[in-house]
């Protein structure tokens, strides 16, 4: 029997990379049925809703969402759709693995970092006010509940995946109360995992060390904003945004998406790299227990990247999305 999943086709390069990924999933025999919805700016222009009600209903039924990048219209009073989805479904754990691929040359080798980014609070809580015309406040919120669950997930992941170390990233020297609490909770929870090494580092120091000695880092856990910034940095270490997948997990719902945005500068040109969304789909298959199928797709991608003849321009190749997709399918 097929498993049903919900698919959001977004804006910019979203539809192109979604089509590529669904074709690869079918060719790999993933055994999935799709409930596909157009969402985002283009859908708003066409039908007046950024995300149609049926799309929400579908996700509430299937509980698994493969989401391509969506653009939130600027200047029309909308909150970020990405932030809204994470909050609405309490998708508190944003997991972003960045692993070097020998075929993609960068100045850095053997990077294998998994960032656990808290996804629901910190400066993303949306608590902002204009105090007077020259003064704006934005409130940073850190709670015990949200800190505990993301930190525990990071340690659990380390145990389950045979990782050695979890690093807590913070700025507790300045934000002594909020980030201080995050760090204290980290060390409380670390006591339950004596087999995993634990340490903490200040975020600016981490930014420097990541580009000098990225191999020193393993699993990392941090509040929302640091996770946003540092995971773009780790994508740069492995060859760019076209290669960074993510999962957003929590409360019985799971959403899988590329870390990159809708890349309007290359939309419709047929050169977008679907790998980040494809690897997100592999994380989705693993979440659904379809380990063999995920492994088969990962092997096919590795072969295509290693051969280097059908890769997209963002990672130094000359092929288009279509050629890359066909090449991956031919290896399955």
Q: Of 74, 69, 78, which is closest to residue 50 (Cα–Cα)?
A: 78
Which of positions 143-172 make contact with ligand ATP (CB under 6 A)? none
> Which of 60, 130, 70, 126 shows the shortest CA–CA distance to 267?
70
Distance in Å, CB of 105 to ligand ATP, minimum: 17
Q: Residue 93 has which token pair?
A: 């754990």
User: Angle at the Cα of 98 (from 60 to 31), degrees rounded to 5?
Assistant: 40
Residue 160 tokens read as: 């389950």
Nearest CA to 146 among 110, 122, 163?
122
- Contact string (CB under 6 A) for ligand ATP, positions 74-93, x = contact: --------------------
User: Between residue 3 and residue 22, which ones bind ligand ATP under the rule CB under 6 A?
Assistant: 13
Residue 164 appears among annotated catalytic residues: no
Q: Which of 44, 124, 157, 226 is catalytic?
A: 124
- Buried b / exposed e along 154-182 (16+ C-beta atoms within 10 A): bbebbeeeebeebbbbbbbeeeeebbbbb
Element (H, E) at 32: strand 32-38
- Ranked by CB distance to ligand ATP, the top (closest) residue is 261
- Over its C-alpha atoms, the chain yields an Rg (Å, rounded) of 20
Binding mask 219-248 for ligand ATP (x = CB under 6 A): ----------------------xx------
Total residues contacting ligand ATP (rule CB under 6 A)? 13
* Least distance to ligand ATP, CB of residue 68, Å: 10
Q: CB-wise, 95 or 219, nearer to ligand ATP?
A: 95
Which residue's CB is nearer to ligand ATP, number 189 or number 278? 278
- Residue 141 CB contacts under 8 Å (≥ 6 apart), including other chains: 121, 122, 125, 127, 178
- Name the minimum Å distance from CB 312 to ligand ATP: 6
Query: Which DSSP string do the residues of 166-228 spell out, in sequence order?
Result: EEEEE-TTTSTTHHHHHHHHHHHHHTT-TTSEEEEEEHHHHHHHHHH-GGG--EEEE-HHHHH
Q: Residue 331: which residues within 8 A CB-CB, separation 6 or more?
A: 299, 300, 303, 304
Stretch that binds ligand ATP, among 23-31, 89-97, 196-204, 257-265 (CB under 6 A): 257-265
Of 3, 184, 218, 232, the catalytic one is 232
Considering only the stretches 58-66, 165-173, 272-280, 282-290, report the one whose residues sit in contact with ligand ATP under the rule CB under 6 A.
Answer: 272-280
To the query of whether residue 204 is one of the catalytic residues in this protein, the response is yes
Q: Cβ of residue 278: shortest distance to ligand ATP, in angstroms?
A: 10
Which of 30, 50, 276, 297 touches ligand ATP (CB under 6 A)? 276
How does strand 165-170 pair with strand 219-222?
parallel
| Total number of residues shown for the chain | 332
Site string for ligand ATP, 87-126 (x = CB under 6 A): ----------------------------------------
Which residues does the annotation mark as catalytic? 124, 171, 204, 228, 232
Which residues make up the interface to ligand ATP (CB under 6 A)?
13, 241-242, 260-263, 265-266, 272-273, 276, 314
């Amino acid at each position: 029997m097929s498993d049903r999943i919900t698919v959001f086709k977004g804006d910019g390069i979203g539809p192109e990379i979604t089509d590529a990924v669904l074709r690869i999933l079918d060719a790999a025999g993933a055994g999935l049925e799709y409930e596909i919805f157009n969402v985002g700016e283009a859908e708003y222009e066409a039908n007046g809703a950024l995300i149609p009600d049926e799309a929400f209903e579908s996700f509430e039924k299937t509980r698994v969402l493969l989401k391509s990048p969506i653009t939130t219209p600027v200047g029309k009073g909308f909150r970020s759709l990405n932030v809204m989805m994470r909050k609405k479904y309490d998708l508190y754990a944003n997991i972003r693995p960045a692993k070097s691929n020998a075929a993609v040359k960068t100045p850095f080798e053997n990077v294998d970092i998994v960032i656990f980014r808290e996804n629901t609070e910190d400066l993303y809580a949306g608590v902002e006010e204009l105090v007077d015309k020259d003064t704006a406040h934005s409130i940073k919120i850190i709670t015990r509940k949200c800190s505990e669950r993301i930190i525990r997930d990071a340690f659990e992941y380390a145990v389950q995946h045979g990782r050695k170390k979890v690093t807590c990233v913070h700025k507790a020297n300045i934000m002594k109360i909020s980030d201080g609490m995050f760090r204290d909770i980290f060390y409380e929870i670390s006591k339950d995992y004596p087999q995993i090494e634990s340490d903490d580092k200040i975020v600016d120091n981490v930014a420097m060390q990541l580009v000098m000695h990225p191999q020193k880092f393993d699993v990392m856990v941090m509040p929302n904003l640091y996770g946003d910034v540092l995971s773009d940095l780790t994508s740069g270490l492995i060859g760019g945004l076209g290669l960074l997948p993510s999962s957003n997990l929590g409360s019985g719902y799971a959403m899988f998406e590329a870390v990159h945005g809708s890349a309007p500068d290359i939309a419709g040109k047929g050169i977008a790299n679907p790998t980040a969304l494809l690897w997100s789909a592999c994380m989705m298959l693993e979440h659904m227990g379809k380990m063999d199928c995920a492994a088969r797709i990962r092997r096919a991608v590795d072969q295509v990247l290693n051969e280097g003849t059908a890769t997209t321009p963002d990672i130094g190749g000359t092929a288009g999305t279509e050629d890359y997709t066909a090449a991956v399918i031919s290896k399955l």
